[in-house]
Structure 1
């Protein structure tokens, strides 16, 4: 693009400014003339008021029209000599005629003054509008000049960059067939696509939905293994309310609506195991560690402790406790030492796998906190 096509950024501004100054000067002259006419009108009005008072006083001369047309040097009442002779009737009549003539002139000039004032007001309005138009044109021209100046700077920068690229291409050698540059380009493109996919909102939502589906699948399997109420229905985690939901034929059921305390403990354990399984499979930076304190309490309260034996429990409670510990044992074994579960409980099953998993029996004066710590 030719820079000359953009025009001179200062073009037209001197002419517009000259017109603006001309309109301002004309408005000043119009205002001065209107002020002079208004002042003349005020003076004429004052003169007319004074002349009318003189006319009213001189009108009394009509009473003397049969008098002598002579002046008097003595007062007709006290016969004292007057310092200034009294004017004759003719002189007074002539003064009255002169005043009336002047009043007629003033009344005749008043409409012409009003017409001139109206014409000046109209001209002032027209010049004011022309002035506003010129000022808008000046403002628009200044704005256009700023855009033109920015466009010029952009074109200059583009030309500079294009010149540097051309210079580089002229002096840079072509990549040899054995160059690693194409492979690096492909690798960087792949990394770029991976990063774009990672920050894509839709992809993030899809990954979250997939993770929740996997957690729900394992949650359903663990609930079925524990024989939990409503465990035969599809289960899922509700992120909004942070609870377990069972999708039944009659609608969704939240954890608070599913059974009693035994059921709730089982669902909490199943939810923890489902989440940890996902974390371990995806190598997420979540510690592979779970601590449970007396998960059998809902089935086997401490006041019914029989040295850890559960043979005194109902068959359902015995099976529920055994299923719970069996699930924990199989879960840790399935992850190949990728998960550690510590359970503190007063239950002691007779199964060999359970006995092999016991780390410490806190009985016979053996407690969680050694007595030596207290003595020290």
Structure 2
């Protein structure tokens, strides 16, 4: 995406002060240099805030207190656009935005034109990403939404806490949520997948969720139908007994339900007497006898399992007792090795000092006994009765007990049938009512056919999408991109003179660099490569490689913005003190002495700017670099395409003009 930062614009809280503008060259290295605590590091936070960041990272205090609006003049596809966002003030953030794609001059004051949602919609239109969603998309999962331009900011910022961080390579990827979002947006940003692929991925996600929901519904209904099987069987037995059906009429649940439907229709048509036969009491008696026999068999099985469990538990308890006894005996042996070592060759007693020839036999016997105890202790270190065997026996006992309970309930029901009312129509009508209730429940459960049809349709759609993914060529493109990026990173790493750990690869899963000498060697990661200079060098090498890749003709439509802001890369050579002071802040003879006495660190710092210039050259100056630094032109002034954007080294220098602060104090 051809998007550059032309200016950073600040509107003062005090309208008597002039609007502040910091201009940037769009195809060069722009350096803002100055002392500590002058607002250099706030540049990244301001740019990110104006582009719609969820949180405001602009420091509270002088900057927020003196600025009413933060703004950017952007060059988007050769057109200039002014965007701005009101300062959050005492709040966490502000949802008031301003956009003017047709401005001629920077206005002296601003009024809100867009809320946050409207701004992101309008900005998506400006950067031609209108087909991308504005949020994560709650309907498709927290991290699985198609990417927003906000997800791509990770390629544009290298803040101070990231530029030499061994554990984090990308902006905001040190938080789980942003890391997951970036992992999903990475293939899109690198051109491995396109908008069509993203649309189909989203479609698959939605279809898969619908498919899973329908399958769950069908499983619930099927379980419900299984629960009704027992009721249908019981009603069928009652129907056979009362003469409403013959035992041979139906053998399956489906045929019994069909027969019940016929009985219900006859009942509603007052034709039930036409099928009423002589009650079959023998059938009930046989069922009662079968239930009694099954109950007896199950009781025997339950008793057997109960004895098994009890026996295993007793064996376990005895084993524990025996193990404890062996441990006690082992503990009573007092340093036998010491005792053996104290017995001299002349068999002198260690207790009384007398001479005897019996000590060797005693020692030999004791040695045998001690070894026996030790062998027992090792053998009994673990309980010989495995706990899972006891648990398995208990599980079998619970299962048999549940089956016994069910059988007893059925036997009691058969036993309590009143023989005096077996031939009465009251039981017939009562049974018909139960049958009608069962048929209604079954009708609801039989919705599985409709669910199955819908599941089949979704399954076919998912199969079609899977076929698309298999033939999309994503794997081949990904391998080509990985190889290309690895080669570019290696070129820049070579230029920095970094420690080599085999072939380099951008690991899109871990979001860091990995190193491997060959396929059989262990993969190593950036955090395993020592020294801050290596970490800083690999960070910059990676981002130069990425922006060279994004600048190629093949990726001219990439959604990644063509600017890179780096905050204090020289910190690994010139770290700031706790007070904020930095050696590179010095001037005159002091800085000359530093240059003379710390030549190696100065040359290493110059190398950073030389590599940035090399990155622009290799990319035909198709992107923009902004560097926030302590180092001044005495270090980077010789580098091609490197210009000074702002100098805040004087006592009153800084992002917020000195007269703004004075006017606020005097007001």
- Scaled by the length of structure 2, what TM-score is found? 0.27
Which has the larger helix fraction? 1
TM (norm. structure 1) is 0.46
Of structures 1 and 2, the one scoring higher in RCO (CA 8 A, sep 6+) is 2
Higher Rg: 1
